[in-house]
Chains A and B, each alone.
Chain A
Amino acid sequence: MRIKRLAGVALILVVAACRSGGVTPTATPPPAAIPIVTLAVTDLPGRWGLASYRVEADRARTETEAKSACSNPYNIEAGANGGVMMHLADQSTPSEVFVKNDSSGRVFIGPAGPPAVQQDRQVMSFESSVLVAEWLDPGVRERFGTMVFVRCGAA
């Protein structure tokens, strides 16, 4: 069966190799606007409803779902070194992370050190107790989508 599967895959590859698409000239996309975010590490400790979405059309209902997820919240505690304890991607135990800003005004949450490293989340917005963040690692971002944290108990 495995041989058959391999044969099937090989066939697809062969067929795929026969297909070609024309090169479409693409204009250089304009640089993405940098979100204006004000976030301090003291904003983070507490209980958060956590949900995720992939397409912008799902954002509003994802926020609603995050609010209702407060029955099983994501808990953020203060760290020993001035940061907060949060999970990095695929880590079952939390580690201390910090709020970091880069020179262009972007805000990140990640391990101590320079901003905008692969393990960081970029904070896309933080308004009215709703924090929206994306993993910088493209593979992780593709898997989890855009994360929405809604502070539990917020009006």
Chain B
Amino acid sequence: MDKWIKTLARLLGRALTVAFALTVPALAIESEELQIAEQPGYVPTPEEEMLPAEYRPQMVFFRSTEPPGTVVVHTQERFLYIVQGNDRAIRYGVGVGRDGFQWQGLLKITRKQEWPDWRPPPEMIERQPYLPRFMAGGPGNPLGARALYLGDTVYRIHGTNQPKTIGYAVSSGCFRLVNRDVIDLYERIPVGTKVVVRQAPAL
């Protein structure tokens, strides 16, 4: 019974966190989930960080009514765009939330952090009691080289030490880029930037 109540409370808490500016997730989204555990401390090789061509940063055609500088994330496409104007955008490959952890809405970047610290979630500590409860930022940190915080939610755009997760639904609702790309994004995006998260595919 206690377990059921805790689960309900956790789900309710998560729903409340997202509800303020977010709409109901699209139904029946096709997503390719990657079952992979976090690997705290793992440092990827440069070869591992070399993404397939479609997920590398590139200028693309992108029709949008959003003003230049806006970040648009297409969850289903696994792409993040920085609107450039003139129907152009810089596109990055991202890893997105697993089914049940995806959302859409409009937020702003409220904070930026280089080499963010990482705190494993309690359920991870339960499985791996030997993990430090706090891991200072660094190359093996699951949050990677940079983090951009979305509103006052638990969600972030951040780096990763698992490049192979790019292009997959793997996270708890955050958006992850390889470290090289998140560093590039971090340099281009100031605090206050509008972030639009969409689930429907682009037309």
Which residues of A are interface residues toward B (Cβ below 8 A)? 1, 4-5, 8-9, 12-13, 49-55, 58, 61-62, 65-66, 69, 72, 74, 86-92, 94, 142-145, 147-148
Contact = CB atoms under 8 A, between A and B. Distances in A.
B132 A143 contact: no
Nearest to A140: B41
Contacts of A65: 117, 133-134, 136
A69 B133 contact: yes
Nearest to B125: A72
A143 B53 contact: no
A93 to B, nearest CB: 9
Most buried by B among A52, A74, A142, A148: A52
B42 A143 contact: yes
10 contacts: A1-B52, A9-B50, A50-B131, A51-B136, A74-B129, A87-B130, A88-B130, A144-B132, A145-B41, A145-B138
Interface of B: 39-43, 46-47, 50-54, 117, 122, 125, 127-140
A65 B136 CA distance: 9
Contacts of A94: 129
A63 to B, nearest CB: 10
A145 B136 contact: yes
B50 A62 contact: no
B129 A52 contact: no
Contacts of B42: 143
A65 B117 CA distance: 11
B130 A91 contact: yes
A147 B133 CA distance: 10
A49 B133 contact: yes
